[in-house]
A and B are shown apart, each in its own frame.
Chain A
């Protein structure tokens, strides 16, 4: 009874807060402040056709670095908690057998999914998407592979090297921005030009950074999924 009363009070106060927000809400008809600056000068300053990418990788790249760090930390913590003992590692999962349809379809679809993931992060500065989205798409290809063959193992050494090298390279390109550009993680190097607007080789270092981020995110999420799959061996 008391519990229901408390829930009712919480709901009522939420309703009050949102009603007040709704009452004082006025839709803006034009961009103001820093958003207007991004929309006006984004194309000429950064050269990325996708303005979201221009904000994420150039204007606000420090936040993106934080996101990459958080994802790395999550992957590290999960691999710490899901560590298996040697006997469990060698066990083979007994399953009912995956269907013929899934196995045949996965052989056809997995390369296409990987290709689409790579397309999404290489074209992050032109079309919607980018490193994080492309990495997640690559990881969903890994999911399909694991589903088709539950005893599959991903080569740990490759994952670690891909992840470490791309992580370090992002920082190195950021430091290069101090020397050649306007500051840490600046995507435009002075004297190199921005390239033709709307082509793959444009927008300074954004395609390079986003490709590295995509590889890093894809490797991390694949590693997390592989660890969860392996953890099913433990009784």
Chain B
């Protein structure tokens, strides 16, 4: 029973952090901060998947969601900045 309470608290905490990061990603004026925040949402999501005992999904989310897609966003941002300069 005690374990279950700790588990719920951790899960709710990660969920709240995800919501906060998502709001930062939407509202922040600096695009680089927004990209990092969106990557952190994916990172917390992968931890949540792991807590829900879905390690396969967690691995995909961590590698693709928070790793590779963040990087591709930065490449595109860099290209847009250079073309506008």
Contact = CB atoms under 8 A, between A and B. Distances in A.
Interface of A: 50, 52-53, 120, 128-130, 132-133, 136-137, 139-140, 143, 221, 224-225, 228-229, 231-232, 234-235
Contacts of A52: 56
B75 A229 contact: yes
Contact of B75 (A136, A140, A231): A231
A181 B75 CA distance: 46
Contact of B67 (A140, A231, A232): A140
The main secondary structure of chain A at its interface with chain B is: helix
A228 B63 contact: no
Interface of B: 55-56, 59-60, 63-64, 67-68, 71-72, 75-76, 78-79, 82-83
A120 to B, nearest CB: 7
Nearest to A228: B75
A85 to B, nearest CB: 15
B68 A231 contact: no
Contacts of B82: 232, 235
B56 A137 contact: no
B84 to A, nearest CB: 12
